[in-house]
Structure formats: C-alpha cells, structure tokens
Amino acid sequence: MPTPTKGPRLGGGPAHERLMLANLAAALFTHKSIKTTETKAKRLRPVAERLITFAKRGDLHARRRVLATISDKTVVHELFTQIAPQVAEREGGYTRITKLGFRKGDNASMVQIELVLEPVTPKVKKSASAASSAPAAAAPAADKTPADDATTDATEGASESELATDTNEVVDDAADETGTVTAADDAEADEASASTDAPAADTK
C-alpha cells in the first residue's frame, strides 16, 4: 500500500483531513472516477486501497472497519457487492492516477483518479514456455518404437536392392549395344575385303 506523503495536512487539521479523504473515497466508489488536485489524489490513494482490501475480505468485521471511515451504508454496500468482486484477482494497484494539466486561476496540477476494474491477464514467463516446448519436441522421438526402426531399415534395404538391380540392367543394355555395334563393324569389314579381292581375281 502506498505510504502517505509527509508535509502540511489538507484542510485546517487532522480531523478535517480525515473527513475530506472519507468524502473523496465515497465519491470515488460511487462514480468510479473523479477529478481532483494531484496532492489530494496522492493522499486519497492509500486510503481508498485500504478500504478495498477490507472489502475483499467480505466478513462482518471488515464491513464495520469500512463503516468507521465511510458512514454511507449505500456506498459501503456497493463497495462490497460490486467493486470487490471485480478486483478479487488483482493483488494491489486498485487505483490509477492520470495527469490532466493545470487548473486555471491557481495553476494547481489536476489529475483524474479512477478505479482499475479491468480483468487481470496473467503474464506468461518465457522460461516456462521454453521449458514446456522442449519436452513436447522430445516426445515424438521417444514415441518411436523398435518396430518402426526395423520397418525403416527394411525399406532402406529394399531401396538399395532395387537401385543395384537397375544398375545391372543398365550395364547389360550397354554391353548388348556394344556387342551389336562390334558385329556390324565386322560385317562391314568383311564386305570391304570381299570387294577388294574380286577386282584382283578379274585382272588375273
């Protein structure tokens, strides 16, 4: 809870300051947002958040503690039944102060203090998300069984045998083509020699 600042009190004395802060807190709980000076808002923040903490307890003793500060039972009922459930998941920081500029005349700093009633969104830690993703990535590798390994090996062996068969067929085809070309060359050589011998015989 924020600590009240030290220095001159608001109003003429301590009793006047307590009544002023109680009225500001009642107005804040009623309208959910009020405009006031920066000094009054900073003094109001710890008082209002302390009353909201009592309202989150919800028991009779806490209600009486709040009634000791705010005498309006309607405001106290609204604080316990409407505001407290909306900030049940929030751990402190129930108010927000926004600067609005300076007031004309005395140039006082004006702010808007309001209740933070938005739902709390939990923060996700990066280390936790990385740690959760690592086991998820390792799970598929662990799910692989020996049967799957045997199937993979058999598939690889079959692929290698098919590749060897294809290689042998290519070699055989090349050999057949080479033999055919050699036979054709031999036939052409025989025809050429025969034609050479024939003119020689006629000359004789």
Residue 1 lies in a domain: no
My answer on whether 134 and 176 are in the same domain is yes
My answer on whether 149 and 88 are in the same domain is no
Q: What is the pLDDT of residues 176-202, one digit of tens each?
A: 555 554 555 555 656 655 555 544 444
Q: What is the pLDDT of residues 70-97, one digit of tens each?
A: 999 999 999 999 999 999 999 889 999 9
Tell me the CATH number at 89: 3.90.1030.10
Q: H helices within 32-71, ranges in order? A: 38-57, 60-67
Please, are residues 52 and 78 in contact by the beta-carbon 8 Å criterion? Answer: no
Helix 38-57 / helix 60-67 crossing angle, nearest 10 deg: 160
- Confidence grade of residue 63 (pLDDT, cut at 50, 70, 90): very high
My answer on whether 79 and 142 are in the same domain is no
Could you give the CA distance from residue 145 to residue 164 in angstroms, rounded to a whole number?
A: 29
- Read off the pTM: 0.57
**Beta sheet of 33-37, edge-to-edge order:** 33-37, 109-115, 95-102
Please, are residues 130 and 142 in contact by the beta-carbon 8 Å criterion? Answer: no
Q: Which residue range is the domain that position 181 belongs to? A: 126-203
Q: Which of 88, 91, 97 is nearest to 123 (CA)?
A: 91
My answer on whether 90 and 165 are in the same domain is no
Q: H helices within the chain, ranges in order? A: 14-31, 38-57, 60-67, 73-78, 84-86, 126-142, 146-203
Residue 8 lies in a domain: no
The token duo for 30 is 């009623």
My answer on whether 96 and 132 are in the same domain is no
Q: What is the pLDDT of residues 33-61, one digit of tens each?
A: 999 999 999 999 999 999 999 999 999 99
Q: Out of 115, 141, 165, pick the residue that ends a domain.
A: 115
Residue 121 lies in a domain: no
Q: What is the pLDDT of residues 126-150, one digit of tens each?
A: 765 555 666 655 555 555 555 555 5
My answer on whether 141 and 111 are in the same domain is no
Confidence (pLDDT) at 35 = 96
Backbone angles phi, psi at 98, to 5 degrees: -125, 130
Q: Out of 67, 83, 115, pick the residue that ends a domain.
A: 115
Q: Out of 115, 146, 173, pick the residue that ends a domain.
A: 115
Please, are residues 92 and 1 in contact by the beta-carbon 8 Å criterion? Answer: yes
DSSP 6-40: PSSPSSSSHHHHHHHHHHHHHHHHHHSEEEEEHHH
Residue 45 lies in a domain: yes
Confidence (pLDDT) at 203 = 40
Confidence (pLDDT) at 75 = 95
My answer on whether 160 and 74 are in the same domain is no
Q: Which residues of 44-60 are buried (b: 16+ CB within 10 A; e: fewer)?
A: bbbbbbbbbbbbbeeee
Q: How many domains does the chain have?
A: 2
My answer on whether 142 and 111 are in the same domain is no
Please, are residues 98 and 114 in contact by the beta-carbon 8 Å criterion? Answer: yes
